[in-house]
Structure formats: C-alpha cells, structure tokens
A and B are shown apart, each in its own frame.
Chain A
C-alpha cells in the first residue's frame, strides 16, 4: 500500500486477556519500529526490526510484551495478560533501511488499546 497501515484501529479488551496488534509497513522498507504513546505522553520506543530480526528489544516494558516480523514485512505486537496501564496508542513506523542511520520513519495511524 501507499503508507503504513495498522489494525485494528481501536481495541477494547478486558484485563488479563491477550491482544495482537498488526502492522503492515510500506512495501520495500526493511526497518520497522513499534512505539507506545500514553495519554499526554511522548513516544516510548518499544522495539525495532531490521528485516525479520530484532536487534534492539530494550524498550519492551515487560516479558508480557513480544513482537515478531515475518517475511520482512508484516509485524505483530502481542501483549499477554493485559493490564490497565497497557492502555495507550501503539504506533508502528517503517523506514527504508536503518543500517546507515537516520532514515526517515513513516508512521501508521496507530492502534488505540483500552484495557478495562
């Protein structure tokens, strides 16, 4: 597609349930990033993929969070046993190639997760 897409756009879940958030990057972009934006907060880096591998998982807040990327394209962020503090907008971005540094990141519209 023309841009980064994310699904679902909104997700309401009950505390303790697992959720999966999906990101489709721009075709041909090898780097993919996940961020979290809590209400009134800036962007919090979660994880970054170069191809299918994740060299930096340092931003994942706990072991309840995991992410994978297959075929160098679609990525899924999974949150297990959701907690209310997981409520946020989860943003995905992609860039052509991060290896040289500084490639512009293009963002999806985000998934708004609400944990009741």
Chain B
C-alpha cells in the first residue's frame, strides 16, 4: 500500500538551513504537501508541489521533488526558533492523503 516515510527528528542551529527529507511509494501521486504543526495546534499547510514540477520556492522555503526516486525535501533557509515544530510530508493521488509520521525540528539558539 501507499507509504510515506520521514526521519523523526532534526536539530539545527538558529540561522542555519534545515533540510527535511521524505520518501513516498505511490508513483501515481499528483500532489505532495508539507504541513507544519506547532505545539498544541492543528496542522497548517506550508506549501505544496505538483508532481510535474521539480522545484518550488516560496520565501525561505524550497521544495525539491525527485519523482524518479520518489523523494521530496523541504529546505528552510535561515532557520529561526519560531520554526521549531513538527513537519509532515503528505502525498495524494486521489481523495485519500497519506501522511508521514512527522519530523520534529528543534532549533537551537
């Protein structure tokens, strides 16, 4: 069945870049998403990319998609303490969106 995998934890220093990686299995995925969940809050859509794109940039966020390897990454430039959260990768090819377990980003001041 479909599966989305991501590492569970990432620690970076304030000001550095963060790169969160994700792999998925469904080759028919049409949309891939990154969501952010701050403590005690629901999920907030950060950005998404269509499967026919290989890169999308939005201010400090850069999404890279390698469709051949089914690999998605989220790069956060100049990481700030406010970026500390859990980041979920998700993919969909139909009505059901499959989420990864989330990567907890810890930013050290």
Contact = CB atoms under 8 A, between A and B. Distances in A.
Given A31-B95, A45-B99, 17 more contacts: A6-B42, A33-B97, A42-B99, A42-B102, A43-B99, A45-B96, A45-B97, A55-B95, A101-B95, A102-B30, A102-B93, A104-B31, A106-B45, A107-B44, A108-B42, A109-B42, A110-B42
B24 interface: no
6 tightest A-B contacts by CB? A42-B101, A102-B31, A98-B95, A107-B43, A107-B42, A43-B99
A102 B45 CA distance: 13
Contacts of B43: 43, 91, 93, 107
Given A42-B101, A43-B88, A102-B31, A109 B41 contact: yes
B33 to A, nearest CB: 7
Interface of B: 30-31, 33, 35, 41-45, 48, 88, 92-102
16 contacts: A6-B42, A33-B97, A42-B99, A42-B102, A43-B88, A43-B99, A43-B102, A48-B95, A101-B31, A101-B93, A101-B95, A102-B93, A104-B31, A104-B33, A105-B45, A110-B42
Chain A interface residue number, banded: 20 to 34
Contacts of B95: 31, 48, 50, 55-56, 98-99, 101
Nearest to B31: A102
Contacts of A50: 95
A19 B35 CA distance: 28
A4 B43 CA distance: 11
B36 to A, nearest CB: 11
A42 B100 contact: yes
Interface string A8-45: 00000000000000000000000101010000011101
Interface in A34-66: 35, 41-43, 45, 48, 50, 55-56
